[in-house]
Chains A and B, each alone.
Chain A
Amino acid sequence: MKDNETLSCCLEAHALECIRDDRTLFSGLAFRLEPGQALLLEGRNGSGKTSLLRILCGIRLPDTGMVSWNGTDIQRLGADYHQHTAYVGHRDGNKLDLTARENLVMARALGRPGALTPDAALERVDLYGFEDSLTRTLSAGQQRRLALARLLITDATLWILDEPFTSLDVHGIRVVEELLEAHTRSGGMLAITSHHTVNLNSTPVQRINLSG
C-alpha cells in the first residue's frame, strides 16, 4: 500500500440524519476516520447500524448531511470513491452456483486488483482446498469467510463490514480479527458493526452507540 496516498485519506461524516418509515434513526451524527483507525458501531437491533454503513458506502443517501472522502462528497466521487472501499454486507454477495475461485476472480475484476491472488486470499481465510468447490456446498461460516476474502483481493483502504463475524466459529473469528488488525496496521481504515466483542487490541477504536 502506498503510504503517501493512504496517509492523506480521511472519511468524514457531517451532521448525518437517517429517517426510516417516519422514525428518526439518528441525527446530527458526525465523526472523522483516519488511516489506521477503526470505527465500531454499536446499538440495539433496528437502531440504524446497517443503514449508516450503507450510507458510508454510498448505496443509501442520508436524509440530511453528507459523507466526504478527503473533503469531497462521496456521491460526487462515485466510482472514484468506490475504488478505495470494500463492503461486505449481511448478504454475502457470493454466487452460490460459482466456485469459490470464480467468485473471487469476478470480485477482483470489479475493483482495483490488490496484491493477493484469489488463491492466496482463500488460503488466508483458511479455505485452502475449497477453490473449486461450488459455493453452494460450503457451510454458512465458510461462505462468510469467502465473502471476507473479497476484502483481500482488492486494494481498498476503507473496509466497511456489516456483522462480519456472523456464523463464524471461534477460530474463524480469530482469523478475521487478525486480518482486520493487519489492515489497520498497514494504514487501512475500518467501519464495522458487530454483536460480538471485537478484539482489536493494537488499533485505536472509535465507538459510536446509535441507541444512546
Chain B
Amino acid sequence: MSHDSLSRAFILLIRRDLVLAMRYRAEMINPLLFFILVTSLFPLGIGARPDLLQTVGPGIIWVAALLAGLLSLDSVFRSDFEDGTLEQYLLSSHPVSVLVLAKVLAHWLITGLPLLLISPLLGILLNLPAAGIRILFITLLLGTPVLSLIGSVCVALTVGLRKGGMILSLLVLPLYVPLLIFASSAVDTAAAGLPVTAHLSLIAALLVLSLSLSPFATAAALRVSLS
C-alpha cells in the first residue's frame, strides 16, 4: 500500500469522525459541560476563600478534566463496535495502528480540545495567578492527548464486554495518576513562581511514550476484543 492512500485513509477517518460528531453533538458537548459544571461548583461549595481556591484550583481542574475524559472515553470505539465498522478497520489493507491513531486524534479534537480552550476561563474562576493559568494551559495541551491515548488501550480491551464501564474506570484511573500528579504539581509550582521545566518535560515524555506505544497496544487489544 502506498503512502498516499494511507494518509488519505488517515485524513478521511478523522474527517469522518468529526462529521459524525457535528451531526450528533451530545458526544462533544457532554464532557465539556461536565468539566465546566464540576469546576464551577467548587467555588460555590468552598465559599469566598480566594487563597484556598488558589491552592486547590489546579487539582480541581485536572481531576475534572480527567473525569470528563473518562466520561467520553467509551465513545472512541463503542459505536464502531456496535455497527460493525470496527471489523472493517481490522480488515483494511492499512496498518490498524495508524487507523487507531486517527481515531484517537479525532477523539482528542472532539473532546480534549474544547476542554483545553475553556480552561483559562476556569483558571480565572478559581483565582489562579496568570503564571499558573499559562502553565495549566500547557499541561492540558500536553496532557489531554495522553488521556485519549492511554484511554484508547483500555477501551479497546473492554469494548467487547456488554457492561464494560466499571472495569474501564478501574483500568484507566491508575494509569492516569502519574499524569495527574505531575500536571497539578506543575501548576502549583508555577503559581508559587518556581521553574517548572522538569514537570513539563516529564509530561512531554509521557506524551511521547504513549504516542509511540499506545496505537500498537490498542490495535492488538482490538484484535483480542473482536476475536
Q: Are A110 and B87 in contact (CB under 8 A)?
A: no
Least CB distance, B86 to chain A, in whole angstroms: 9
Least CB distance, B100 to chain A, in whole angstroms: 13
Residue of B nearest to A86 (CB): B91
Question: Which segment, of A9-17, A97-105, A115-123, faces chain B?
Answer: A97-105
Please indicate the chain B residues that have their CB under 8 angstroms from the CB of A87 in the complex.
87-88, 91
A113 to B13, CA, bound (A): 16
Question: Which segment, of A38-46, A56-64, A191-199, faces chain B?
Answer: A56-64
| A94 contacts partner chain B, Cβ-Cβ < 8 Å | yes
Residues of B8-39 whose CB lies within 8 A of A: 8-9, 12-13, 16, 19-20, 23-24
| A111 contacts partner chain B, Cβ-Cβ < 8 Å | yes
| A112 contacts partner chain B, Cβ-Cβ < 8 Å | yes
| A96 contacts partner chain B, Cβ-Cβ < 8 Å | yes
| CB-contact partner of A83 in B1, B9, B24, B223, under 8 A | B1
Residue of A nearest to B6 (CB): A109
Please indicate the chain B residues that have their CB under 8 angstroms from the CB of A89 in the complex.
84, 87
Least CB distance, A127 to chain B, in whole angstroms: 18
A82 to B1, CA, bound (A): 11
| B227 contacts partner chain A, Cβ-Cβ < 8 Å | yes
A12 to B142, CA, bound (A): 49
A70 to B198, CA, bound (A): 54
Residue of A nearest to B79 (CB): A95
Name, among A57, A79, A98, the residue most crowded by chain B CB atoms within 10 Å (CB to CB).
A79
Residues of B78-92 whose CB lies within 8 A of A: 82-85, 87-92
Residue of A nearest to B20 (CB): A97
Using CB atoms and an 8 Å cutoff, list the residues of chain A in contact with chain B: 54, 57-61, 79-80, 82-83, 85, 87, 89, 91-98, 102, 105-107, 109-113
A–B Cβ pairs within 8 angstroms, 19 of them: A58-B91, A59-B90, A59-B226, A61-B227, A79-B94, A82-B92, A82-B93, A85-B91, A87-B88, A87-B91, A91-B83, A91-B84, A93-B85, A95-B20, A95-B83, A109-B8, A109-B9, A109-B12, A109-B13
Using CB atoms and an 8 Å cutoff, list the residues of chain B in contact with chain A: 1, 5, 8-9, 12-13, 16, 19-20, 23-24, 82-85, 87-96, 99, 223, 226-227
Other than the known A79-B94, A83-B1, A110-B99, what 10 A-B pairs have Cβ atoms closer than 8 Å? A59-B87, A60-B226, A60-B227, A91-B83, A91-B84, A93-B83, A93-B85, A102-B19, A109-B9, A110-B9
